[in-house]
Amino acid sequence: MFEFEQRKLPNATPVLVLGILSILTCCCYGVLGIIIGVIALVLFKQDKQLYDKNPSVYENYNNLNTGRILAIIGIVLSVLFLVYVLWIISLFGLDALQDPELMQERINELQ
């Protein structure tokens, strides 16, 4: 019988690492997590096309899929945090976020 040597998908580990980083960086105003998550999804798409052509050749598809899921979670968390930051800025104003006394005045006005 003819046996194939199974190879690893070239971007499976980077997609997994970027997926984890997208979750960890979602609190960086949301922007960094979105960028990293999108990069992970682009790399996932490239490896998914390789895997779909010949699935029996590749062995680490689970890592690739896990990285995709983590990237999606990271993007969602980043978008939610970005919306939250924009809501806080619209509520208090950018100048109040830089001046603690003005922030206290705006909080007192809201009460």
What stretch of H or E contains 79?
Answer: helix 61-92
Residue 111 has a pLDDT of 83
Residue 90 has a pLDDT of 93
CB atoms closer than 10 angstroms to residue 86: 12
Residues of the chain with pLDDT under 50: none
Torsion sign, CA atoms 25, 62, 3, 51: negative
Q: Which two tokens stand for residue 86?
A: 């924009």
Q: Which of 9, 63, 67, 61 is nearest to 38 (CA)?
A: 67
Query: For 13, how many CA atoms within 13 A lie in the half-sphere containing its CB?
Result: 2
What are the residue boundaries of the structural domains of the chain, listed by start?
Answer: 12-84
Residue 4 has a pLDDT of 64
